[in-house]
C-alpha cells in the first residue's frame, strides 16, 4: 500500500502540521536510503527510536508504519544523539533512528533550519506565557509549507546508514475498496475522509469491520449533520463488539485512543437485541453521541454475513487445521463491499 501526505494530515488532524511535514520528508529519505534496491517498509518489522516528542511526527509515522500501535515507536528525549543535533522546542532533540531488519538510518535536522521564532512561540505556549494557539499555529503552518517545499536532503543530515539487506517479499496488493462518498471531519482543519484512507491505515486484515464502521459513520453523519463537517474530537462511541477493523476505523475517524470517549460494552450490545458477531465476541450494535445527540445503531438482520461468521468461528476454534481461508476471505470482501453499497445498513434508535 502507498500513503501520501494527505493521509497523514487527515489522520493527525492538523494541530502540529510542522511535525507531520517533518515525518513525511523523513519517510521519503528513509525509504530511498534504507532500501536502495527498491524494497519496502514492512509494518511490524520497522521500528523508530527518537529523542523528539512531537505528536505530529508520531501520528504521521503511525499512519504509515503503525509503529506506535505495534509497540515499535520509542521516544526518549534524553537518549544520546550525535554532536551538534539541534534541540527541539521545550524538550528533546531532532534525532531519529529508523530500523528494519539489519538496516539502520540515523537522521538529525540540519542546524538553523527551524526559526528561533518557532522555538519562542512554542515555549511561551507550553509555559503558559501565552494562552492562544493562534500565533503558534500560524508559525507551524509556515514551517510546514517551508518543509514541504524542500528536498529531504536539505532538511536532514545523515549521521549513520546501513542499508537493509534482508529482501522483503513482493507485496500483494489488496483489492481496493471503492466508495465515492466522503465524510468531512473538522479538527484543527477540515478533511474529506474516504474508505481508501481508512484501508491504507488499517491494511487488509479485517476489511469487514472497517467497512461496517465506515458505513455506520456515513449513515450517522448524513442523518445528524446532513453534509456539514463533523467535529471529530467531540464524538463519543460505544461499541457492542470489538475487532481490529472496527477499532482502527473508529480511531482514524474520531481519534478516540487514550480518551474516555470510547467504550466497549458487550452486555449493552446484547441488551440492544443486536445480531451476535461470534459467541463471546459481542454484537453488531453501536452508539454515537455528541453534545445532546445520542443515537444507537443495530445492523439489520438481513445484512448479517452468517456464512462468513460461521467460517470465522471454525477458524478461531482451530486455526492450524482450517482449510477454507480462500472462501472465508472471499466472503469477507463480499460483506465489506455490500456495506459500501448499502446507504442505510443500520436500524436507528434515538
The secondary structure of 86-153 as a DSSP string is PBPSSS-BSEEEEEETTEEEEEEEPTT-S-HHHHHHHHHHHHTS---SHHHHHHHHHHHHHHHHS-GG
CATH 3.50.50.60 at 5-162, yes or no: no
**Burial class of residue 323 in the structure, from the number of CB atoms within 10 Å of its CB (0-12 exposed, 13-18 middle, 19+ buried):** exposed
The Cα–Cα gap between 178 and 185 comes to 19
The Cα–Cα gap between 127 and 87 comes to 17
For the chain, residues classed under CATH 3.30.1330.130 are 5-162, 183-349
CB 202 within 8 A of CB 248: yes
The confidence score (pLDDT) of residue 63 equals: 97
pLDDT tens per residue, range 4-57: 999 999 999 999 999 999 999 999 999 999 999 989 999 999 999 999 999 999
Identify the helix (H) or strand (E) that includes residue 193.
strand 190-193
Q: What percent of the chain has pLDDT over 90?
A: 89
The confidence score (pLDDT) of residue 181 equals: 94
pLDDT tens per residue, range 98-146: 999 999 999 999 999 999 999 999 999 989 999 999 999 999 999 999 9
Alpha-carbon distances, residue 193 vs 11, 13, 179 (angstroms): 9, 11, 11
Pick the CATH number of 183-349 from 3.30.70.1170, 3.10.20.340, 3.30.1330.130, 3.10.50.40: 3.30.1330.130
CB 11 within 8 A of CB 252: yes
The confidence score (pLDDT) of residue 346 equals: 98
Q: Which long-range contacts (CB under 8 A, 24 or more apart) does 113-119 make?
A: 113/86, 113/155, 114/86, 114/89, 114/143, 115/139, 115/143, 118/18, 118/89, 118/143, 119/89
The Cα–Cα gap between 159 and 30 comes to 12
pLDDT band at 242 (very low <50, low <70, confident <90, very high): confident
The confidence score (pLDDT) of residue 173 equals: 74
Nearest 10 degrees: Cα torsion 223, 225, 231, 235: -20
Q: Is the pLDDT at 161 greater than 80, yes or no?
A: yes
Amino acid at each position: 500500500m502507498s500513503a501520501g501526505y494527505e493521509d497523514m494530515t487527515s489522520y493527525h488532524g492538523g494541530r502540529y502540521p510542522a511535525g507531520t511535514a517533518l515525518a513525511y520528508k523523513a519517510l521519503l529519505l528513509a525509504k530511498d536510503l534504507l532500501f536502495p534496491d527498491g524494497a519496502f517498509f514492512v509494518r511490524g518489522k520497522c521500528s523508530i527510536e527518537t529523542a523528539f516528542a512531537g505528536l505530529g511526527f508520531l501520528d504521521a509515522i503511525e499512519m504509515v508504519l503503525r509503529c506506535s500501535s505495534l509497540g515499535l515507536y520509542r521516544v526518549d528525549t534524553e537518549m544520546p544523539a550525535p554532536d551538534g543535533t539541534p534541540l527541539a522546542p521545550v524538550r528533546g532533540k531532532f534525532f531519529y533512528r529508523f530500523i528494519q531488519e539489519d538496516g539502520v538510518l540515523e537522521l538529525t535536522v540540519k542546524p538553523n533550519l527551524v526559526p528561533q521564532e518557532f522555538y519562542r512561540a512554542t515555549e511561551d505556549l507550553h509555559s503558559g506565557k501565552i494562552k492562544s494557539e493562534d500565533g503558534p499555529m500560524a508559525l507551524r503552518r509556515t514551517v510546514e509549507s517551508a518543509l514541504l517545499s524542500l528536498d529531504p536532503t536539505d532538511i536532514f543530515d545523515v549521521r549513520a546508514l546501513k542499508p537493509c539487506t534482508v529482501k522483503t517479499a513482493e507485496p500483494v496488493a489488496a483489492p481496493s475498496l471503492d466508495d465515492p462518498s466522503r465524510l468531512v471531519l473538522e479538527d484543527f482543519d477540515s478533511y474529506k475522509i474516504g474508505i481508501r484512507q481508512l484501508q491504507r491505515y488499517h491494511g487488509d486484515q479485517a476489511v469487514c469491520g472497517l467497512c461496517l464502521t465506515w458505513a455506520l459513520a456515513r449513515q450517522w453523519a448524513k442523518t445528524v449533520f446532513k453534509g456539514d463537517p463533523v467535529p471529530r474530537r467531540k464524538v463519543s462511541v460505544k461499541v457492542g463488539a470489538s475487532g481490529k477493523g472496527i477499532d482502527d476505523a473508529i480511531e482514524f475517524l474520531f481519534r478516540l485512543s487514550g480518551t474516555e470517549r470510547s467504550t466497549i460494552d458487550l452486555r449493552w450490545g446484547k441488551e440492544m437485541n443486536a445480531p451476535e458477531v461470534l459467541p463471546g465476541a459481542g454484537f453488531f450494535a453501536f452508539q454515537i453521541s455528541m453534545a445532546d445527540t445520542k443515537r444507537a445503531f443495530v445492523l439489520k438482520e438481513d445484512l448479517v454475513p452468517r456464512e462468513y461468521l460461521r467460517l470465522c468461528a471454525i477458524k478461531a476454534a482451530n486455526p492450524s487445521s482450517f482449510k477454507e481461508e480462500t472462501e472465508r476471505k472471499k466472503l469477507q470482501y463480499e460483506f465489506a463491499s455490500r456495506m459500501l453499497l448499502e446507504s442505510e445498513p443500520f436500524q436507528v434508535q434515538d
